[in-house]
Structure 1
Amino acid sequence: MHKTTVYLPVELDVRLEAEARAEGVSKAELIRRGVAKLLDESQRPRQAKPMPVFDSGRSRAVDEIKAELVDEIADRAARR
């Protein structure tokens, strides 16, 4: 995970603290849930980047190329 600092108005922080206590989770967990929900429900069209071109100037094994493709697809999925 990456650490991010978020500044909240006092009133929002008080409500967040109360909800976290009621749910039995941390404020950070509620913030993560809220951000995930916002991004999942976003209507903004996602721009797909072209798949990487593998031109290293040397021959590579199929397994090596496959691993790089799997990593690229996982990175893209994580950004959605």
Structure 2
Amino acid sequence: MIKTTVYLPEELELRLDAESAATGISKAELIRRGIAQLLDTSSRPKSAHPLPAFRGGRLVTVDEMDDAIYEHIKERSARR
């Protein structure tokens, strides 16, 4: 995971503390869930980039193709 600092208004911090205490879920986990929910329900159109095409002068091994696809998916998910 990557550490990120977020500044919250005092009222939101108090509400977050109360929710964490009431549910037994850490504040960090509540924040992660809230961000995930926001991004999952966003009405912003998600760009539909095609998977990389492998056109070149040389043959690509199955392992190289798997690595390239994995890296492409990893980069796309990091942008979400």
- Per the TM superposition, whether the score is higher than 0.5 is yes
Scaled by the length of structure 1, the TM-score of the pair is 0.77
Structure 1 residue 23 corresponds to structure 2 residue 33 = no
Equivalent runs, 1:1-80 vs 2, <5 Å: 1-54=1-54, 59-77=59-77, 79-80=79-80
Unaligned regions of 5+ residues in structure 1, if any? none
- Distance change >3 Å, CA 24–CA 58, structure 1 → 2: same
How far apart, in 2, do the equivalents of 1:2 and 1:57 lie? 39
Q: Provide the alpha-carbon RMSD of the alignment.
A: 2.4
Scaled by the length of structure 2, the TM-score of the pair is 0.77
Larger RCO, structure (CA 8 Å, separation 6 or more):
1
Q: Deviations over 1:1-37 (max 9, x none)?
A: 1111110111110110010011101111100000000
Residue type at the aligned position of 1:71: E
Unaligned regions of 5+ residues in structure 2, if any? none
How far apart, in 2, do the equivalents of 1:22 and 1:79 lie? 33
Question: How many equivalent residue pairs?
Answer: 80
Matched residue of 1:52: which SS?
coil
Give identity over the alignment, percent: 57
